[in-house]
Every structure is written in C-alpha cells, then in structure tokens.
Structure 1
C-alpha cells in the first residue's frame, strides 16, 4: 500500500468520525486535505479522480468566508482554481479568480504583519494567475491582459471599475526572460494584442548586464561612485539606451507606425532600468519615443483624475542645494504648503490620513538592489523612511500626486522575486496616491528643480500628468541658455557635473541623463 493510499484511508476514517460527531469545521479541514491529496494524484500520477475532488470541495464549501474562516477559505479557492486547471475547466478557473478578487480588501485587512500580508498576496496571486490562464484560453491575450491589470490594481487597493484602453493608447509589456537567448514583449491596444519574440535579450543578456559584464545601467551605477563618474555614467547610459532601442527595434517600429499618443509601460525585471522615454525610434532622424507619445508606467486604469495643487505637503531637507528654490516654487503654485523635515513628523502626518493634493519630496532617495529594507527616503534627520513603512502605514486621502524629487525613487525591487513590482511607487499607490513621479538614477539637483517646476506649470494649465511630464522633459531637453535664464536661480546648468563631457554646441540639458530618468507611475 503506497503512502498516498495510507494517507487517504486515514483521512477517510477521520472524516467519518467528524461527520458522526457533527464537527463541521474539522470535517471541512479534513475534506480539503483529502481534496489536495487526490488532486496531487490527478496531477502527478495521471489518476482520473477529479469527481472525488469536486465532491469534497462541494461538501466543504458551506460557511467558508474570508472574514470568519480565512485560512480555509483561501485553501478552498486555491484548490478550486487548481481543479479547473487540471481538468481544463477554464470557466471554473475564471469564476474562482473573480470570486477571490472581490474579497481582496477583506483578506488583506486581516494581515497583522508585513510577512502575513505578503503570504496573503502570494496566495491571492496564485489564484489570480489561474484566472489569467483561464481568460487567455477562453478569450485570448487581450482578455488575459485586461484581467491581469485588474488583478494588479486590486491587489494594491486601487479602483477597478474602469479598464478600457482609450483610443490612441497602447500598453507595452516588457516581460522577464524565461530562456537564455530571447525575451517576450507584448503590445496591447484595444482588442489587438501582438507578441514579439526578441532575440539577444534573454537571461544571458540581463545576467551579463547586472554583473556589469555589459556596458549599461548597472556598470554606470558603479561608475558614479568613482571620480568623474557622472560623465562615465552618461556615456554608459547612452550605450544602454542604444542597446535597448536596438533590441526593441520591431516593437518601436510598430509603435511609431501606429502613432500612439500615450504608451503605458509594464516593465518587469531589469527592464525597469531602461528609460523608455529616451528609446530611439527607427529612421534617419533618430527621434526619441517621447517626441511621439507620453509615457506612463502601470498599474494603470485610465480613471479620470484631475490633478490639483491647492494643498501641498513638502517633505524637505534644507541641506540640499535646491531646497530653498523648490520651497519657493511650491509656495508660488499652492494655496497652502505644509512642511515636514524629520521622519517622525512625516510619519505622523501621513499615518493619520490628512488630505493633500500633492506630496512633494525634496530629499535624498535610496535604493539597495540587494535588500528590500534599503528602499526609501532619507529625511533631514538622516533617518530612512522606507517603502515598507508607506506600504503598511501611510493613509493618503484624496488621491494625491506624489513627486519624489530624489535619487532612484522610481525603481522596483526587481532582483528579489516575488517583490519585483515592489518599491516606493507601488507603496505610495497602495497607500492611496493617484500618481507617483520617481527617478531611475541619481538625478541632477538643478535639472530636477527645472523639470519639476515646468511639470507643475503644465499641470496648472490643464494637461494630464503624463502629458505634463512629457512636455516638461522635452522643454528641459531643448531649452537654450536664454530659456533657462528665466527659470534659473543662478546655477543655470548642472550641480552634479564633474567632467567636460557635455557638447557646448548642444542645449545644456539635452543629454538623456538630465531628463529621461523621470518616470510616472499612475493608478
């Protein structure tokens, strides 16, 4: 007698005793255990016993709910979805995932620690993955992608009512490679969905880049720590943009031909280090993608949200060279500016749920590629305000815009699965922000102030957040000395400049280093 047979026989006897004793909770737990065991036999030993699994699921379903019996409710949902996958019942996979999605808020609210919340998110994500597979099989890639976006937004607590892609908008999915020599990319617009199999950017490419065996973002970050590092980083960034543009050639050609006005990027893994706005479109002119389209990063629901700047929270470190100028700039835009400097005060304001239209950080930012706890904002008292704290404690009322005018605040924890989408942008969106502007690398102080000032001006004129950022980036890239003089505080060009790598015949901030690292995450 095999161990499986012995275990099933023991479960049979135990279930019978529970039924006789009228102990429903114990009976349900035992039936779910037997359903798991038999389902394993169906999966791995080719047993045709799905009817037995179905019977145990039906018998154990009563009185299970996410409030009173969360552990067993989650287990039932997992087994139900998995049964659908084993039997090819796509409708069951979809309906189970949809049912689970309705209760995400109830489930996550019961988590008493970050670890417990991570576990619940992982289990809900597994159920949702089966639902995505069901939609892909039942209705094709567009339906699968729409559901995937809805799941992603729901898991971080965003509104899920509107998910139709507007006219002239495309979604660009830069996927993690699963083979050594190629990577998949998806472009979805309306009911169309195109899959690209891109050679030469598989696991080997990314491993070489991360290990700094290939010139690009990661070797550039190391160069920044050396004398003359800014110029070296700028050169390596240029190589990184050209390499990514070449790899994405077929995708960029189609995006250019379709003439989309907005592109929403879902960048997984190391792709989050690529400045999409600076990607070079095909053709002799070599224009940047941002010249054609506004760029936003997902999750994204296309829910109308009119940005306002009436009441602003300014988290500021007065030691920064542009702190005084940014304070003056915010006071010129807003009716009320509330200022915080030390971590304790910032936590008090954001933890108690005060309403702000905009939260602007003039601070240092930190991103540790090897340690999740190293992602955060360094306050004026040198204390680190971590992404984890925002995720667990911040309550942002009114859907404020969050502007992280600090270094590397737009990156995710892509190197540490399953946290590849976790970082400051996701933490703020989960806390209630409507949009987050962050950066991909250590940005120049003067360029940051000039760009963000222009961004707020465009917002005040009525432009959307994505279009405002696009216009601000193009303005900074193209601005000549005369234009910059009007917006200058005396330091007209750059503050992190440490070498003569700028071409004096070009506009002062024309290099992608100054403008392309600003990214918009919108929910």
Structure 2
C-alpha cells in the first residue's frame, strides 16, 4: 500500500467506534493491512489507527483492549518524535494519555502518573503557537489529571489543576472555541468548588461565577450535554453554597437541576438523568419553602426514580449513595423501620461484595459509601429500643477493609467459629463503640458492651450536645483561628512549634470531658473483674486518645489495659501476656536527621541479643523489605523514623526510608508478610492516623496495612512525637514487654511511668541500664537527668539542665499520642 492508499484506508476505517462488534471488524481490517507492511511510516500510521480503535472498544475485554492500545501507541512513537514530527508526536502522546487514564490493570495511581507524563511532555516540547488548540487541550487534560491524581499533596494538585485550566482558557476563548471554553470553564469551576486552599466561601463564589459565565456562552449554542452538565454542576454548587440565603440557594439548585432534565432524558442519557434525579431528591429534602411533607414526598419520588437506573448490579457505588439519601429522607419522616431495612440491605450487599473485589480503590469507595448508611441503621435500631441489636449491627459493619485484606472477605453473618461474637466481649473485657451520626442535630450514641455485666450486657448513652457539627468544630480546620485540633496540628507541622497544638489539645480535652460524663459513669459501674477495654472510635474521635481527657486519664488509664479496635472481631491475643521473645528487627533513622531515633535503635539492638538492625543510610526501602522477608518469624518489628500521613490519599502514606524513598501503605500491604505473633512498633510521626472522613470506622492508615500483613497488634502515634521523650518511652515499653506484659498493658505502664517520672527517676533509669545499652543509646550517667528532655528550640547537642524534682514529660503531648491498635 502506498501513501495515498494508506490515506484512503484510514479515511474508510476511521471515526468513532460504535459497539464492540463493529470495532472488532475494523480492527481485523487494520491487522490484515499491517501484515502486508514492513515497519516504517505507513506501518506506524496503521499502528496509530489500531490504537485509536482499541482505546474506544467497549465490552468485557476493555481492559485487554487498553493494554493493546498502549502497546500500539508505543510502537507508533518509534517513528515520530518532537524533533522530526512534533504535531503527530503530540497527537499520539495525547491519545496515549487517554489510554493510560483508562487503564485498569496495575495500580491506578501509577497509571495516572504515566498519563500525566504524556501530557506534561506535550507542554514541554510543543510550541504553543505551532498548534494552539492541541497545546491548550493538553493543558486542560492535564488539569483533569491533577484533579484525579492519587499521589502528591491534594492541596497542591488542585492548585496545579487550576493553573492548567487557566492556561488552556488563554486559547479557548468564547469567540473561537465556545464549546471547548464552556467545558474548560466548567472544569475550572469544579476545581474551585473543591479547592482546599483559600477561603471556602470565596472559592464557592468563584466557582458559581465561572459556572454562570460558561452557561451564558452555552446558552448561545444548541442545547447539548455540556449545557446540561453546567446546569447540574451549578445546582450542586448552589446546594452547597455558604453565602446568600439558604432557602434561595436551594430554590436555585432545584431550578438548575430541572433545566438539566430538559436535555438529559432517560431514553438517551439514563445515567445522567439518574444523577439529576438523585440531586433533586437531596435538594427537596433540604428545601425549607413549601409544605414540608410534600417536599419529603417529592424527595422520595426523585430518589426512587434514580434507583430505577442506579441498580445494584450496574452502578453499586451510585446505588449506595442514593440508598443513603433515601434513608435520610425516610428518617426525616420518622419511618425508622424503613431506615433499618435500607441499612440492612446495604450491609448485606457490602458483606458479599468485598469478598470478590480485587480492586483496592473500588473496595474503598464501596465501603465509604455504605458507612454513613450503616450508622443511620444503628440510630434506627436504637430508636426502636434495641440497644443490643444496634451495638451488634454497628460492630458487624466495622473493619470490613481489614477482613477483606486478611483474605476472609466474610459477610458479617458468616463469622468463623473461633471469632468472638460482636455482642459478647471476652470475659474480663468491655467494648466501647462510638457511632458518629452522618447528620447534624443528633446526639452521638456510645455503646458499652460487657459480658461480665449480666444485668446490663449492652448499655447505650447519648452524649448530649455532641453531634456531628460539634465534633467538626472541635477537630476540623477553621480559617483564621487556631482553636481546633487540626488547626493546632497544622501549625505544629508547618512551624515545628507544639504550643498551638498543645493549646488545642487542652481545649478539646476539656470539652470532651464534659460531653463524655455519661460514659465515665458507665465505666465506674462495670464489675471489678473487667480490666481490659477495647475502644472502637468513629470519625474524628480516632484522632484523639481517650487517656488525654481528664476523665479518661482517671477512669481508663488507672484501671484498664486499652486497645483500639480495627473492627468487630475480637483478637484474643491482643491482651495475652507475651513470652520474652528475642527476635527483633529494628529500622532506625533512615534519613540521618533523627539522632535520638538512631540512639533508640542502637539501644534496642543492644537490649536484644542477636537482633537485626538497619541504621541510617543502610535502611533503604529495598534493604528493609529484603530484611523482613528473610528474617523468619519476628517477635518485634520496630521502626524509629519519620512517618507521613496523606489525608486525601492514605495509600500514599508511609515511612520515610534512606535516599528519600517512602515505604507506602500500598507496598506494606502488597510486599510484607508477618507472623501472627509479631508486634509492630512505629516510633514515628503520624503513624497511627487514619482517614476518617470517607471511612470513619475503618482505621484506614498504616496500622491497618501492618495488621493486613499479618501483625497481631501495632503500637503507633497520632501526632508528630518528640524525639527524646519517645526514646525513653520506647525503652520502658520494651522493659515491660520483656517482663511478660501484653502490648496494651506494657504501653499503659510505660505511659504512666513517663508521665509521672521525676528528674531523679530518669537519672535512675539511665544508671540501671545494662552498660551496653547505655553506651549504645549515648545516655550519660552523670548527674544531669534533664539531658534527655525534649525541648523544641534547643539543639540536640546542647540540652538544658533541669531540677530532679520536675516532671519533664508530664504533658500528654509526650506520652498520650501512642496507642495500641489491634
């Protein structure tokens, strides 16, 4: 085939693919033509056509079609480059980015990064003036990719997206490219809608202004899907708007949704039609004008219409969201039996669904969508006077990710014979389970279950005044002030100054102490035989150790060994006394900037004869993974290093290794296998934080990864911990473990010791150490006990002296951040 024949052939087989059958027929023609060609420009042109067909192919084989498309694009790129044929090269790279974005094999995060590399290279090599439209399209697509990005800082990703969209809009003006302008402006509006940086109210006003501007341009075009999408998006912006009159905003939202339905008819756009029906159902539930009963009735009608398309089989995540909204509507009508029915249906589906899911991100989306509905079900069952059933339902719906990671994937109704039933904690043990209602105005219920309390095996207390809004005011960032938990936390991260965080800790502790008074009364009345306590936190309460609250310090720390529960299954080994195991692998100071962590590692290495240690630059990610895989059964796996938690993308959270590498959560799950007796100790910042907004009941963070890898328990921190006091805490922790204490008991004893220790007691600790341990830890036996006190403003080699009568680590900042999770 000569060049003209190739062009005629491409014209004939090109164009959109309509259905898998026609795509396969056209693919066969291309493959037949390729068989007659040798590699060269014509061969590359047919490879490009082949890839463009494959990337559009629907059907069950779509995943394999994408793999073939990527391979064909890469073959095409062997015959064009930015130097020889920049326009063809840029078009191939643009199409290749689409294939990488649609790829389902391998981790989604890595696929998105490859797509972004393709798009970024277009901007780097293609001059804007050479093909303005292609250049602007690459910028707009790169903005889309930044919004979908999994790795990196979410705040920065959104800012990058905004910058790319603005660059594209320099080309896509309303006169020359009205349709592309509308699409790009709508995407920019959405970026402002979800923007983290800046003032939330101002961002939403910018989003609405951009959406309305784009809509004015779209109004001049024939009514199309972009026009309908703008109306739907504007409806959602008005529904979430902070400024203006709330009632007016809801009416505006309803108006925009109804406009979208003028284009999105069920016959042609069933998915989009269902999306708008769902949004109308939510808007009518929030409507304050008109008859309240009529509004709720219309809300129910629209949500059921959405569910007629959003079926469980076709759209499980959308089905879950619409079911949740329907449950909220039914709750407002007081139809508690219907709320319970919806919640049980959702949890039955979820218990079976996660068993067959191999896609980690899909699992997370499904469980997140179902979590709030489960909590509504808990409220409904409790409202009907069944606290024991409500507690059982709450616990059965926790820890689903953990069960799936362990390979069980079991539905709550199919617990194994050796699993403790959720409503019956082991003798001598009590379970505290919180349930954060997914709406404002409902007091938070807390359940206490105890089989030793035969008169009241399950008790329910309502924490008056502590609803979702009150929790958010205590914990969430509020612009312009430093009174919430996360406000102070952000200052600590950015400035290294614990003052604001310590103040926030004290304010939150004081407020929670009052809210939790009913819980303290219940704990006081438990039988004296109860000495062990599991706490199942929910939402932002997972950030806060109960021992920090004055009531918790008195009622919990002085009496109970405490563990945080990942799920509802009781792990009997958590509170079991440990044998004096000697098999330790310690990873310390990989980044070379934590001298006290390195000393901590040396001390533990000297304490455990025959222990394996990776210190400093030897602790690369590869060496650490190899050491764990070849170590055999371990009693202890200890990390003393920097930790990092990614709030928006927990999969990217991890431990910092040598050379700037990060041992990420996803890698721990995929590449580490531990014995069931292994205790993992993460003497690292932020190592115990869990994502609580999307998955409030799942402990979704590094502890879950190590438990999923097989560990029996994980001791970890909820905030950036001070280097020096942590070294002393770890030393005492292992002292109690060696004496046979269980991990929760050893941690409680070490925390109480550190909290109460006077300066001369710290000196005695140093003097009593084995000389090898003291030398390894670089601890001086000279009478200067405060040399190990952590003071942020002092350099490591010049700590201040202090009085032996002081309690240098009495503040909870030094000891309360460590928790035991099992």
Of 574, 585, 588, the residue aligned with 1:313 is 585
Of 432, 444, 447, the residue aligned with 1:172 is 432
Q: In structure 1, what is the equivalent of residue 398 of structure 2? A: 152
Shift of 1:142: 2.4
CA offset digits 1:271-303 (Å, max 9, x no partner): 122221121129xxx846312322211126443
Q: In structure 1, what is the equivalent of residue 462 of structure 2? A: 196
CA offset digits 1:100-143 (Å, max 9, x no partner): 75x678524xx1x4324435656887998899799879993324
Q: Which moved more, 1:301-310 or 1:238-247?
A: 301-310
CA contact (8 A) 1:253 1:281 kept: no
Of 792, 811, 815, the residue aligned with 1:497 is 792
Q: In structure 2, what is the equivalent of residue 33 of structure 1? A: none
Q: SS of the counterpart of 2:464?
A: strand
Could you say if the C-alpha distance between residues 128 and 430 of structure 1 is closer, same or farther in structure 2, counting changes exceeding 3 Å?
A: farther
Q: Distance in 1 between matches of 2:447 and 2:562?
A: 14
Q: What TM-score results when the alignment is normalised by the length of structure 1? A: 0.72
Could you say if the C-alpha distance between residues 98 and 71 of structure 1 is closer, same or farther in structure 2, counting changes exceeding 3 Å?
A: closer
- Within a 5 Å distance, the mapping from 1:366-385 to structure 2 comes to 366-385=644-663
Could you say if the C-alpha distance between residues 508 and 122 of structure 1 is closer, same or farther in structure 2, counting changes exceeding 3 Å?
A: closer
CA contact (8 A) 1:152 1:299 kept: yes
Q: Does residue 256 in structure 1 map to residue 528 in structure 2?
A: no
Q: Distance in 1 between matches of 2:672 and 2:603?
A: 26
Q: In structure 2, what is the equivalent of residue 4 of structure 1? A: none
CA contact (8 A) 1:312 1:358 kept: yes
Q: Distance in 2 between matches of 1:117 and 1:287?
A: 40
Gaps of 5+ in 2: 1-273, 275-298, 303-307, 325-329, 409-414, 451-456, 767-778, 781-785, 795-799
Q: Distance in 1 between matches of 2:612 and 2:736?
A: 22
CA contact (8 A) 1:98 1:131 kept: no
CA contact (8 A) 1:241 1:275 kept: no
Q: Which moved more, 1:485-494 or 1:310-319?
A: 485-494
Indicate the structure (1 or 2) with the bigger Cα radius of gyration. 2
Q: Does residue 236 in structure 1 map to residue 504 in structure 2?
A: yes
Q: In structure 2, what is the equivalent of residue 428 of structure 1? A: 706
Q: Does residue 276 in structure 1 map to residue 546 in structure 2?
A: yes
Q: In structure 2, what is the equivalent of residue 365 of structure 1? A: 643
CA offset digits 1:358-389 (Å, max 9, x no partner): 21101101123344345211112221122232
CA offset digits 1:63-85 (Å, max 9, x no partner): xxxxxxx979x99x99xx99xx9
Gaps of 5+ in 1: 1-36, 38-42, 47-52, 54-69
Q: Distance in 2 between matches of 1:455 and 1:114?
A: 35
Q: Distance in 2 between matches of 1:222 and 1:451?
A: 25
CA contact (8 A) 2:755 2:811 kept: yes
CA contact (8 A) 2:372 2:438 kept: no
CA contact (8 A) 2:656 2:663 kept: yes
Q: In structure 2, what is the equivalent of residue 162 of structure 1? A: 420
Q: In structure 1, what is the equivalent of residue 388 of structure 2? A: 142
Q: Distance in 1 between matches of 2:550 and 2:647?
A: 27
CA offset digits 1:245-285 (Å, max 9, x no partner): 12222222332343653332222221122221121129xxx
Give the RMSD, CA atoms, in angstroms.
4.7
Q: Distance in 2 between matches of 1:177 and 1:114?
A: 26
Q: Distance in 1 between matches of 2:377 and 2:349?
A: 10
Q: What TM-score results when the alignment is normalised by the length of structure 2? A: 0.48
Q: Distance in 1 between matches of 2:390 and 2:374?
A: 11
CA contact (8 A) 1:182 1:197 kept: no
CA contact (8 A) 2:438 2:468 kept: yes
Could you say if the C-alpha distance between residues 507 and 257 of structure 1 is closer, same or farther in structure 2, counting changes exceeding 3 Å?
A: farther
Q: SS of the counterpart of 1:188?
A: strand
Q: Would you tell me which structure has more helix in proportion to its own residues?
A: 2
Q: Distance in 1 between matches of 2:380 and 2:693?
A: 29
